[in-house]
Amino acid sequence: MDTPNAFATTILVASLMGATPASAAPATRYLFDQGGPACQLSVPTISSKVRPRANGMRNEGTANEFVICQYSRNGGGSFKYVSISVSTFDGIDHAIQCTAMTGDVANGTSYSSKNFSTGTNPNWYGFAQWVPSDFGQAGTAFVNSTASVTCILPPGASIILVAASYDEDVGA
């Protein structure tokens, strides 16, 4: 091997030996989405009076309706929590029942139901939050990375917010 090639090889080997792998630096990300675009009817019909409005996914009808809300993120790890907020727009305290799901067909699914109420103040809301322990999971993040919440939305109630948190690896 001639001197220039030996020198280049030595520099290359020395630089590779001194290189350290990039370390992960997680950053906590928060998802907040208004109920109108985040939710939809679980069973779409033309007779339903559930409407996406600027102030939420509102049930303006006279019957309970099933509404499903999605939680999406841009990459990142599994959710640490998901929550949903529901308010009244008719001044009546409404009982709300919601079921959260985490998982997928390939890896299995887990479900957890919660009950709460809206209260009577249209300027306030009731909410439910799910964390891994609600699904019988240990740790600080859901075992599976997808999540949704389905609620029975009574007349006079509006889903005003879905929220979640997850960690995203942003490098060192």
Mean per-residue pLDDT pooled into runs of 10, the chain (172 residues): 49 46 76 94 89 94 96 83 97 98 88 97 95 92 88 98 90 70
DSSP class of 135? G
Q: What is the CATH number of the domain that holds 130?
A: 2.60.120.260
Is 12 contained in some domain?
no
pLDDT of residue 135: 93
Q: How far, in Å, are 52, 53, 84, 118 from residue 123 at the CA level?
A: 18, 16, 16, 10
Token pair 């907040």 is at which residue? 32
Token pair 């889903």: residue:
159
- Is 19 contained in some domain? no
Find the domain containing 113 and state its range.
Answer: 24-169
Q: Which amino acid is at 84?
A: I
15: in domain: no
8 within domain boundaries: no
Does residue 36 sit within a domain?
A: yes
Q: Are 141 and 130 in contact (CB under 8 A)?
A: no
Give φ, ψ of 28 to 5 degrees: -75, 130
d(CA 85, CA 56): 10
Would 138 be classed as within a structural domain? yes
4 belongs to a structural domain:
no
| pTM greater than 0.85 (yes/no) | no
Q: Which two tokens stand for residue 108?
A: 């299995």
pLDDT given at position 162: 98
Q: How many domains does the chain have?
A: 1
Which stretches does DSSP call E strand in the chain? 26-34, 39-41, 50-53, 56-59, 65-70, 79-88, 95-104, 108-117, 126-130, 147-153, 157-169
- Whether 70 maps to a domain, the answer reads yes
CA distance 111 to 97: 13
